[in-house]
Amino acid sequence: MLKKMAATAIAISAFNLAMPTVAYASVDDELRDLRGGTQATNEWELIKYDTRRNIKAYSKREDGKRIRSFKLEYLIEAPFMTLARVYLDVDNYTRWFWEVREAKIIKKVSDTEFYYYIIHEAPVTLPDRDAIIHVMVEPYSAKKGYASLKLKAVPDFLPEKPPLVRMLAEDMTIKFTPLNKKQVKVDVDGYIDPGGLAPTWAINFIQKQAPYFTVIGLQRMVQQAQFRDSTDPLPFKLLDEEWKE
């Protein structure tokens, strides 16, 4: 999705060349996408490794899917509670999520279930996309040692809003594993289908970039005093009574 950085592949390529701490997938792989290659491998391929920011990004071609799945592994240098506040503050996704124009909670079912609405800016010449996301929260427990969010797009939850194009999938499982009081390991598996008409190679190209830059935004946000110093209760139960900072 996604306007400014996705307007041309040249702009992103220039940015990539300026970052020596990041390893990228081969140019041959990009050319296969441009030529329409869609052979499924069903195996994760490391496409980006930023050693300075501790971010690994993967993609995978799967049988029956025209768009790649993605996976992220990264480290957040902040307490678990700080990370939880950022992730559960949906209204502020516009400040760090990749090309988000609007985000808001539209229904709270319980302390561990809610729905939110989100609008993504699309590349130039394409209509912006919107999605309704159903979120299930699995709270942290000492026995498991992690918390998780399971996101699933529900396109029919609300009527469509032309000229916006309703996304068919924005599905993710996000796992938060505290390593100590100041570090959290995060694992993300996801699949996004923007719906409507768009070249598969362009969608796959952007899907390789967007998750990585979203993580960079998240790493910046956890350093903000608004989240770092807050003592407000969480809006949803990502942490249970067993957790202590």
241 within a domain of the structure (yes/no): no
Distance CA 40, CA 206 (A): 19
> For the chain, first and last CA: distance in Å?
37
How many C-beta atoms lie closer than 10 Å to residue 98's C-beta? 21
75 within a domain of the structure (yes/no): yes
What integer pLDDT is reported at residue 243 of this predicted model?
Answer: 54
Residue 68 carries which side chain, given as an amino acid letter?
R
pLDDT at 217 over 70: yes
Distance CA 163, CA 157 (A): 17
Q: How many domains does the chain have?
A: 1
Pick 58 or 25 by higher pLDDT. Answer: 58
Domain encompassing residue 142:
4-228
234 within a domain of the structure (yes/no): no
Question: Tokens representing 5?
Answer: 């950085």
156 within a domain of the structure (yes/no): yes
Residue 106 carries which side chain, given as an amino acid letter?
I
Average pLDDT of every residue of the chain: 85
pTM: 0.84
**Degrees (nearest 5) of the Cα angle 190, 209, 9?**
140
Pick from 52-56, 144-148, 169-173, 205-209: least confident: 205-209
Gyration radius of the chain over CA positions: 18
Main-chain phi, psi angles of 128, to 5 degrees: -65, 160
CATH number for the domain that contains residue 159: 3.30.530.20
